[in-house]
Structure 1
Amino acid sequence: MNIDRLMKIMISPLITEKATQIAEKNKQFAFLVVPDATKLEIKNAVEMLFKVQVKSVSVINIKGKLKRVGKFMGRRKDQKKAYVKLMNGQEINFTEVV
C-alpha cells in the first residue's frame, strides 16, 4: 500500500451522539472517508494512523440530499462512512493523536 494514499483516506472522525453510543457499546468508531476507499485501505489507514488492530470494517454510502435555494435545486455531496471495529483491548483516543 502507498503511504501517501493511506494518509488521504481518512477525512475526519464522526463525533455525534450516535457514533459515541456505538463506540461505547460495540467498540466501533465512525469516520468519513474518501468515496473511492476500499475496506482494506480503510483498515490499513486506521492501523497506521492510530496504532491499533482492526477487527472489521463496515462502509455506508450516503447519497447527497436535494436542496432548494430560491428557485434553483442543488445537491449536497455524496459521502462514505466507515465503521471500524477494534480488537479487544484496543482503544482510540482522538485527543492524543499526533
Structure 2
Amino acid sequence: MSLNPERLMKVLLAPIISEKSTMVGEKQNQYVFRVLDNATKPEIKAAVELLFKKKESKIEVTGVRVLNVRGKDKKVGKIQGRRRHWKKAYVSLKSGQDINFQSAE
C-alpha cells in the first residue's frame, strides 16, 4: 500500500497539550495528536515520520494507539446541540528520541 504524501500532510491536525499528555510523554515517550476522523494507524505512523524527520537521524515510531472521542452535548438556553466527534492518536517513539514541534517541516 503506497501512502500519498499530500494526504499524509493533512492527517495530523494538531498536537494535544494537556496535563495528561505531558505526563504520558515524560513517562512513556508518547505524543498525543488530534487526527483526521478517517485516518488509519499506518497513515498516522507515516505522517509522524515524514513531518518530524531530522536531518541527522530518522524518527522511529514504535506504536500507534487511536481512540474516538465523542462530542459533548451542549445547551445554550433552549437551543441544544452537540460538539463534533473527533479522533485522538497516542504515538510511541523509540526510547531516546523526541519530537521538536518548532522544527516540523
Match of residue 47 from structure 1: 49
Match of residue 96 from structure 1: 103
Match of residue 20 from structure 1: 22
Match of residue 83 from structure 2: 76
Q: Which runs of 4+ in 1 moved over 6 A?
A: none
Identity rate, percent: 52
1:62 corresponds, among 43, 66, 69, to 69
The one-letter code of the counterpart of 1:65 is K
Match of residue 36 from structure 2: 34
| Cα distance in 1 for residues equivalent to 2:71 and 2:98 | 31
| Cα distance in 1 for residues equivalent to 2:46 and 2:90 | 14
Instruction: State whether residues 12 and 36 of structure 2, in contact with CA within 8 Å, keep that contact through their aligned partners in structure 1.
Output: yes
The one-letter code of the counterpart of 1:31 is F
TM-score, normalised via structure 1 length: 0.96
Q: Which runs of 5+ in 1 are unaligned?
A: none
Q: Which runs of 5+ in 2 are unaligned?
A: 54-58
| Cα distance in 2 for residues equivalent to 1:3 and 1:89 | 27
| Deviations 1:5-43, CA, capped at 9 Å, x for gaps | 000000000111110110000000000001000000000
Match of residue 9 from structure 2: 7
Q: C-alpha displacement at 1:89, in angstroms?
A: 2.0
SS of 2:101 mapped into structure 1: coil
TM-score, normalised via structure 2 length: 0.90
Q: C-alpha displacement at 1:55, in angstroms?
A: 0.1
SS of 1:84 mapped into structure 2: strand
